[in-house]
């Protein structure tokens, strides 16, 4: 039987509940317990796959091809575990299940209602996960903020679960915020008190409060919150912004968070094995060799969560190799022949970002031609790799080369990329891309194989278009090659120019497998090449 830890958010959104849930998972796993994490999202989309990254941040892809919330990225990075599509349910998916049951007559003539039918469906999902994964702990993060209309069914469902086994099987963590009021010079606890009251009104008595704040709060604030919420003082944990999120597990360990949870469940605490994590976190605070400027060429430039896992993969490699990484976004939609040099020349490395839709694609192609010519280390990811291939076609004289995705109706256009076999126009709906993990086999003498130290890797995909085979021979030359393929389906997985310091494109998303405990080899190689450029020793 699993123990349940529920994580809710209060006062404002964006408090880092995902990092908190993931850090607790880290502490339990490092004690040898098995942990499953589930994110319940209140919005009505069936999954985030169809949502704009501007609305919701990146779509995180699980190994089994689930298009999920970016918090799954925190879970996998912090807990060093591959989760699956089972780790993310939305209201949309839950209602979908309910409506299907209703149409099949499974409610036997009953009026289908929020309570009990929606709440029961939510509980069923959690219980099915308990049965299927049989893990010691299931951490359930509820998206949104307590008090949102959309999240009410989730709150009522988990409140119902607290009624089972006299409440001894469920632990509630409420993550809230104490704002600092400049005029009076103190932290304000009233919003937290209100939020806890709201929770209590819905039947949940939190067992722990994580008090987020920009700065350290004095003990008096914690005491006040503890008194007002009827919690012991040690169960109100101050969680100010840390210099680096990867310090959060160690910070919470010092505060005794995991110990409090285990005591509550009547489980004997054991010493956690945090050796590797501590080694990584220590590197965070070590003086860095240098700061590297990485420019990211894409279109969602004003919302860095749109490329969350790429940012993290870079940060992780930077920490691992001893560099500070400074990321700057360049809007590929605004890039042109005139401004490209001022935009890209000072970069130590350039990442050509993934994406969908024509806006900004031409800027990516322009960037791919320019950085190659200037030998600036360049890493193309998914659409970025496609842009590198289109760039090569243009250099080979196919002036109107592009991807079918951007077909304009001009009959002189040639398509270096077209729908993956079996996919077509109708696939423009949710969940129909090529998704999830599959193998890539690299040519033995390729740079990419050298950096991976392997000719076969498994990485995660999310795309609909593929390089057309009739172009392979036309585009390859003594420097440029398509260096990796799916071993059976023969889909092109990578391209490179081996005469350059680092000019590699991948059709998949390596960022989803970069973790603090295993930094990604390709990102590491890219960062090293960027450092070489900075040191002028290419
Ligand atoms: N739009 C491109 C495709 O569907 C690339 C997708 C991506 O960058 N994730 O093939």
Give the Cα separation of 71 and 393 in Å (integer): 38
Q: How far is the CA of 386 from the centre of ligand 1 (A)?
A: 8
The C-alpha R_g of the chain, in whole angstroms, comes to: 25
Instruction: Name which residue sits closest to atom 1 of ligand 1, judged by CA.
Output: 356
Give the Cα separation of 352 and 307 in Å (integer): 11
Q: How far is the CA of 433 from the centre of ligand 1 (A)?
A: 9
Reading the block at residue 53, the tokens are: 């990254």
378 bridge partner residues: 350, 503
Atom of ligand 1 nearest to the CA of 384: 8
Q: At what angle do helices 219-229 and 190-201 cross, to 10 degrees?
A: 30
State the pLDDT at residue 422: 76
**CB–CB of 491/485 below 8 Å?**
yes
Residue whose tokens read 């307590």: 146
Residue 508: name the closest of 486, 531, 487, 488 by CA. Answer: 486
Q: Give CA separation, 481 vs 155, 365, 391, 399, 458, in Å.
A: 54, 17, 13, 19, 20
Considering the four listed CATH numbers 1.25.40.80, 3.10.290.10, 3.40.50.300, 3.40.50.880, the one that applies to the domain covering 287-418+466-483+492-537 is 3.40.50.880
Give the Cα separation of 406 and 415 in Å (integer): 9
Q: Give CA separation, 283 vs 81, 231, 316, in Å.
A: 22, 36, 10
Element at 298 (helix H, strand E)? strand 290-298
Q: How far is the CA of 409 from the centre of ligand 1 (A)?
A: 20
Task: Among 300, 306, 364, 383, say which to mutate for ligand 1: greatest number of ligand atoms within 8 Å of CB.
Answer: 383
Q: Where are the domains of the chain?
A: 3-280, 287-418+466-483+492-537
Atom of ligand 1 nearest to the CA of 420: 10
Give the Cα separation of 213 and 15 in Å (integer): 9
**CB–CB of 534/348 below 8 Å?**
yes
Atom of ligand 1 nearest to the CA of 353: 8
The pairing of strands 137-142 and 35-41 is parallel
Instruction: Name which residue sits closest to atom 3 of ligand 1, judged by CA.
Output: 463
Task: Give residues (CB < 6 A) around ligand 1.
Answer: 354-356, 382-383, 386, 405, 462-465
Q: Give CA separation, 91 vs 139, 172, 182, 460, 495, in Å.
A: 18, 21, 39, 26, 40
Atom of ligand 1 nearest to the CA of 462: 9
Task: Among 356, 387, 425, 491, say which to mutate for ligand 1: greatest number of ligand atoms within 8 Å of CB.
Answer: 356
Atom of ligand 1 nearest to the CA of 382: 8
**Which DSSP category does 151 fall into?**
T
Task: Among 465, 468, 507, 509, say which to mutate for ligand 1: greatest number of ligand atoms within 8 Å of CB.
Answer: 465
**Which DSSP category does 287 fall into?**
P
The CATH architecture of the domain made up of 3-280 is 3-Layer(aba) Sandwich (3.40)
Give the Cα separation of 176 and 272 in Å (integer): 27
Q: How far is the CA of 226 from the centre of ligand 1 (A)?
A: 49
Give the Cα separation of 172 and 207 in Å (integer): 5
Q: What is the pLDDT along the chain (538 residues), one digit of tens a residue?
A: 899 999 999 988 889 999 999 999 999 999 999 999 999 999 999 988 888 888 788 999 999 999 999 999 999 999 999 999 999 999 999 999 999 999 999 999 999 999 999 999 999 999 999 999 999 999 999 999 999 999 999 999 999 999 887 778 999 999 999 999 989 888 999 999 999 999 999 999 999 999 999 888 989 999 999 999 999 999 999 999 888 899 999 999 999 999 999 999 999 999 999 999 999 999 998 899 999 999 999 998 878 889 999 999 999 999 999 999 999 999 999 999 999 999 999 999 999 999 999 999 999 999 999 999 999 999 999 999 999 999 999 999 999 999 999 999 999 999 999 999 877 766 666 768 899 999 999 999 999 999 999 999 999 999 999 999 999 999 999 999 999 999 999 999 999 999 999 999 999 999 999 999 999 999 999 999 999 999 986 5
Element at 387 (helix H, strand E)? helix 383-395
Atom of ligand 1 nearest to the CA of 433: 4
Q: How far is the CA of 434 from the centre of ligand 1 (A)?
A: 10
Give the Cα separation of 130 and 281 in Å (integer): 32
Q: Annotated active-site positions, please? A: 382, 509, 511
Reading the block at residue 97, the tokens are: 């299940």
Instruction: Name which residue sits closest to atom 8 of ligand 1, judged by CA.
Output: 354
Q: How far is the CA of 361 from the centre of ligand 1 (A)?
A: 11
**CB–CB of 434/464 below 8 Å?**
yes
Atom of ligand 1 nearest to the CA of 354: 8
The pairing of strands 434-442 and 414-419 is unpaired
Cα angle, residue 200 at apex, residues 194 and 206 outer, rounded to 5°: 95
Q: How far is the CA of 309 from the centre of ligand 1 (A)?
A: 16
Give the Cα separation of 453 and 408 in Å (integer): 41
Instruction: Name which residue sits closest to atom 6 of ligand 1, judged by CA.
Output: 463
Give the Cα separation of 33 and 26 in Å (integer): 10
Give the Cα separation of 269 and 79 in Å (integer): 19
Residue 168: Cβ within 10 Å count: 12
Q: Where are the alpha helices (DSSP H) in 273-382?
A: 275-285, 308-321, 340-344, 361-373
State the pLDDT at residue 537: 63
Question: What is the CB-side half-sphere exposure of residue 468 using CA atoms within 13 A?
Answer: 15
Q: How far is the CA of 314 from the centre of ligand 1 (A)?
A: 21
Q: How far is the CA of 55 from the centre of ligand 1 (A)?
A: 18
Question: What is the CB-side half-sphere exposure of residue 472 using CA atoms within 13 A?
Answer: 15
Atom of ligand 1 nearest to the CA of 509: 9
Q: How far is the CA of 411 from the centre of ligand 1 (A)?
A: 23
Question: What is the CB-side half-sphere exposure of residue 535 using CA atoms within 13 A?
Answer: 11
Identical fold for domains 3-280 and 287-418+466-483+492-537, yes or no, is yes
Task: Among 51, 405, 418, say which to mutate for ligand 1: greatest number of ligand atoms within 8 Å of CB.
Answer: 405
Instruction: Name which residue sits closest to atom 5 of ligand 1, judged by CA.
Output: 383
Residue 25: name the closest of 103, 109, 140, 126 by CA. Answer: 140
DSSP codes of every residue in 56-105 = H-PPEE-TT--EE-THHHHHHHHHT----GGGEEEHHHHHHHHHHHHHTT
State the pLDDT at residue 52: 84
State the pLDDT at residue 438: 97
């Amino acid at each position: 039987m699993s123990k349940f830890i529920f994580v809710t958010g209060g006062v404002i959104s964006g408090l880092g509940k995902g990092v908190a849930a993931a850090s607790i998972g880290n502490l339990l796993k490092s004690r040898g317990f098995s942990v499953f994490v589930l994110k319940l999202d209140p919005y009505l989309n069936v999954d985030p796959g169809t949502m704009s990254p501007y609305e919701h941040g990146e779509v995180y892809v699980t190994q089994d091809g689930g298009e999920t919330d970016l918090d799954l990225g925190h879970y996998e990075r912090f807990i060093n575990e591959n989760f699956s599509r089972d780790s993310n349910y939305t209201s949309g998916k839950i209602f979908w299940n309910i409506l299907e049951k209703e149409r099949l007559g499974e409610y036997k003539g009953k009026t289908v209602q929020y309570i009990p039918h929606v709440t029961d469906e939510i509980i069923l999902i959690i219980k099915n996960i308990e049965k299927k994964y049989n893990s010691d702990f299931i951490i359930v993060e509820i998206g949104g903020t307590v008090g949102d209309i959309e999240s009410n069914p989730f709150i009522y469902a988990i409140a119902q679960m607290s009624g089972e086994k006299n409440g001894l099987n469920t632990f509630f963590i409420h993550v809230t915020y104490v704002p600092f009021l400049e005029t009076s010079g103190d932290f304000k606890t009233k919003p937290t008190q209100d939020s806890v009251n709201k929770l209590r009104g819905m039947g949940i008595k939190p067992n722990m409060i994580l008090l987020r704040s920009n700065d350290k709060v004095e003990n008096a604030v914690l005491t006040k919150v503890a008194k007002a919420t009827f919690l012991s003082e040690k169960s109100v944990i101050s969680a100010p912004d840390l210099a680096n999120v990867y310090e959060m597990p160690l910070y919470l360990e010092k505060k005794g968070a995991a110990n409090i949870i285990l005591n509550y469940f009547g489980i004997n605490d054991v010493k956690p094995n945090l050796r590797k994590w501590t080694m990584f976190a220590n590197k965070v605070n070590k003086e860095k060799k240098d700061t590297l400027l990485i420019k990211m060429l894409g279109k969602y430039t004003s919302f860095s969560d749109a490329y969350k896992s790429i940012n993290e993969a870079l940060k992780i490699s930077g920490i691992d190799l001893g560099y500070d990484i400074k990321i700057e976004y360049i809007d590929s939609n605004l890039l042109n022949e005139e401004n490209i040099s001022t935009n890209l020349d000072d970069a130590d490395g350039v990442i050509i970002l993934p994406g969908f839709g024509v806006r900004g694609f031409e800027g990516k192609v322009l960037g791919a031609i320019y950085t190659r010519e200037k030998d600036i280390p360049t890493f193309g990811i998914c659409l970025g790799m496609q842009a590198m291939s289109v760039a090569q076609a243009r250099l080979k004289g196919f002036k109107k080369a592009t991807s079918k995705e951007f077909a304009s109706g001009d009959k002189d256009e040639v398509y270096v990329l077209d729908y993956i076999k079996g996919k077509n126009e109708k696939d423009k709906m949710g969940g129909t891309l090529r998704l999830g993990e599959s193998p890539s086999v690299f040519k033995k003498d390729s740079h990419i194989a050298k950096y991976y130290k392997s000719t076969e890797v498994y990485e995660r995909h999310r795309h609909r278009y593929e390089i057309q085979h009739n172009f392979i021979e036309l585009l390859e030359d003594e420097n440029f090659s398509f260096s990796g393929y799916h071993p059976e389906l023969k889909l092109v997985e990578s391209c490179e120019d081996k005469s350059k310091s680092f000019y590699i494109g991948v059709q998949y998303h390596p960022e989803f497998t970069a973790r603090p405990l295993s930094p990604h080899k390709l990102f590491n190689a890219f960062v090293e090449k960027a450092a070489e450029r900075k040191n002028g020793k290419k």
